[in-house]
Amino acid sequence: MKAFRGQPSIYKQSDSKRKPADLEIRRLSLSFGGVKALSDIDLTVKSGDFFAIIGPNGAGKTSLMNCITGFYHSDSGSIIFNGKEITHLHPHELVRTGIGRTFQNIELFPGMTVISNLFLARHTHYHYGFLPACFFLKSVRQEEIAHRRVLEEIIDFLEIQSVRNKPVGSLPYGLMKRIELGRALALEPALLLLDEPFAGMNLEEKEDMVRFLLELNRQWGQTIILVEHDMAVVMSIARKIAVLNFGVKITEGSPSEVVKNPEVIKAYLGDDSVL
């Protein structure tokens, strides 16, 4: 099945029906005891953006992702998604608002097959109840077929047909990263957050992941927020970049603007006089 490559897609939406994914973060702060993880962070992400958040280790990137997805609740500030305050919602509630994510450390179920891991992400879209499921009524069968069609598109798009029935734990690390992306896509999120999706990959695996993400964003209109350490990758695919250091946003702009910023150079390389 080649829905992502040519046929009309279930996953793709027309421009007029595309899910909005406007995110606004206002003066967000987070601390752990006496450690200030985030200090008055302001960010705006518009629908269709490919937005990257970068910074040295300990800059607060994952903490910010965890606040957006409800794993951490900030001390102060607000997070607005499509005009709705989501600052203190829980992760399962945020999934229903249209926010999906991948994790820095792979969070798949290694003993289950690829297709089973993908099916788990469809739970927020199930409409049938316990009793209809027990008797596997016609309405249940029809809904299962619809869910399967979405997953088949994702499997085809990510080119994982050959491993669909294999246990996830038996696969190479790069493929597991790809499957984690597929599980996030199975949620059909309006906003997709990716926490270091290139970590641990070799060059060929990175090239494949870049290709998938660019097609998702440019052709299918997927709004993406990317946290990543690989500067070469970030500079080549992101349209807008925010740089954090010690929990403070030091600059924001296009890749060409960010890479020339003295504060960014200092954060990554130390005193810029060495340059």
To the question of domain 23-274 being in CATH 3.40.50.300, the answer is yes
Distance, CA of 125 to CA of 114 (rounded, Å): 19
Task: State pLDDT tens for residues 156-213.
Answer: 999 999 999 999 999 999 999 999 999 999 999 999 999 999 988 999 999 999 999 9
Task: State pLDDT tens for residues 54-70.
Answer: 999 889 999 999 999 99
Distance, CA of 63 to CA of 68 (rounded, Å): 9
For the entire predicted model, the pTM comes to 0.88
Closest CA to 130 of 142, 119, 140: 140
Packed helices 173-186 and 203-218: angle between N→C axes, nearest 10 degrees: 20
Q: How would you classify the pairing of strands 223-227 and 50-54?
A: parallel
Phi, psi of 45 (to 5 degrees): -120, 130
C-alpha angle 28-214-177 in degrees, rounded to nearest 5:
75
Task: State pLDDT tens for residues 112-127.
Answer: 999 999 999 998 887 7
Distance, CA of 223 to CA of 53 (rounded, Å): 14
Distance, CA of 215 to CA of 6 (rounded, Å): 13
pLDDT band with cut points at 50, 70 and 90 for residue 267: confident
Radius of gyration of the chain (CA): 19
